[in-house]
């Protein structure tokens, strides 16, 4: 058993991949409970898709996705936050417009600028190809995201639960709103290499949703979400290594498997109570 667990560590690319998977798993599943309780799944999906035109232009000018990560995510967070607040067409509609138009713009730019991007890797992730620099960026982002969440946890929780009460209490709600959008966007963009644009949502939402089904308190749901997210990332990577499966989709499927188990555990608990 231990031999099986240790075997992938013989290869440097696997060590890099596992570190990246753990960092992505921790980062996304820390934010997941906030995202699902604030119904921000669609927003997170839009953030992931909105990266495509920025990546296309960045690659055209010779930057890698990791180098583009932080500026791209800050740009997306502020742009989405501003449009949603000021568009007067409703949050869902505004997100939908940005989501589809940015994704379309990304494909058009890739074609017009004639940049070489492996779209399959971008959409579904290619964690096995991460460089040392990519690992450094993802781990750094993980430390920053988790650190900010720890420092502002109580204020963010108050704002998420009762935004009006928080504002009346004197909290800087505008700052808290953009802070969460920025950390969410950073986590999503930093995880694109791990699971890709399409599947990043699954790593954000599924561990958090599964943990909500089997926990009673919000803080505990974050801890369990982190365990589920990290386990999904690492075990997905192992399965993809041993069975030659695509890594991003395998991680998503492991997370889905955990969700299904939690779903039935939750049902059983309800039946027992009745």
Partner 1 sequence: MKTTENIFDDTAIIVSDGCCVQLANNPALDDVTFEIKKGKKVAVVGPNGGGKSTLFNAIAGLVPVINGSLKINGMSPKDAKGTISYVPQRDLINRNFPLSVKQVVEMGLINKNTLNLFSRKEINLKIKEALTNVGLSEKINENINNLSGGQFQRVLIARGLAQDADILLLDEAFSAVDVGAQEDIMSLINDINLDGKTILVATHDLNNLEKNFDEVLCLNRHCCAYGDPAEVLTEDVIEEMYGSHYEMFKYHASENHEKNND
For residue 144, state whether it binds partner 1 (rule: CB under 8 A): no
Which position among 151, 260, 261, 265 is part of the footprint of partner 1 (CB under 8 A)? 151
User: Which residue, 192 or 262, has its beta carbon nearer to partner 1?
Assistant: 262
For residue 152, state whether it binds partner 1 (rule: CB under 8 A): yes
For residue 62, state whether it binds partner 1 (rule: CB under 8 A): no
Q: How far apart are CA 13 and CA 58, in angstroms?
A: 25
Which position among 86, 116, 118, 217 is part of the footprint of partner 1 (CB under 8 A)? 217
For residue 161, state whether it binds partner 1 (rule: CB under 8 A): yes
The interface region with partner 1, picked from 61-69, 106-114, 148-156, 256-264 by CB under 8 A, is 148-156
For residue 89, state whether it binds partner 1 (rule: CB under 8 A): no
Shortest distance (Å) from residue 93 CB to partner 1: 18
Which position among 85, 162, 174, 265 is part of the footprint of partner 1 (CB under 8 A)? 162
Residues that bind partner 1 (CB under 8 A): 36-39, 150-155, 157-158, 160-172, 212, 215-218, 221
């Amino acid at each position: 058993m231990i031999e099986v667990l240790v075997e992938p560590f013989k290869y440097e690319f696997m060590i890099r991949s596992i570190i990246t998977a753990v960092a992505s798993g921790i980062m996304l599943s820390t934010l997941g409970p906030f995202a699902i309780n604030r119904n921000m799944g669609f927003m997170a999906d839009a953030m992931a898709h909105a990266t495509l035109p920025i990546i296309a232009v960045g690659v055209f000018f010779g930057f890698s996705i990791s180098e583009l990560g932080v500026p791209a995510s800050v740009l997306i967070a502020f742009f989405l936050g501003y449009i949603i607040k000021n568009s007067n067409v409703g949050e869902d509609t505004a997100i939908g417009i940005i989501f589809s138009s940015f994704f379309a713009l990304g494909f058009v730019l890739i074609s017009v600028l004639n940049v070489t991007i492996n779209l399959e890797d971008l959409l579904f992730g290619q964690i096995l190809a991460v460089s040392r620099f990519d690992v450094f960026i993802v781990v750094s982002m993980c430390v920053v995201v988790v650190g900010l969440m720890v420092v502002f946890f109580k204020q963010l929780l108050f704002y998420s639960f009762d935004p009006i009460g928080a504002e009346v209490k004197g909290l800087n709600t505008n700052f808290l709103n953009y802070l969460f959008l920025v950390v969410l966007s950073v986590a999503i963009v930093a995880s694109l290499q791990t699971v890709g644009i399409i599947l990043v949502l699954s790593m954000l939402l599924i561990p958090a949703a599964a943990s909500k089904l089997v926990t009673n308190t919000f803080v505990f749901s974050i801890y369990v979400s982190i365990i589920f997210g990290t386990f999904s990332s690492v075990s997905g990577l192992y399965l993809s290594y041993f069975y030659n499966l695509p890594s991003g989709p395998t991680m998503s499927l492991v997370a889905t498997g955990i969700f299904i188990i939690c779903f039935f555990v939750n049902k059983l608990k309800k039946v027992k109570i009745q």
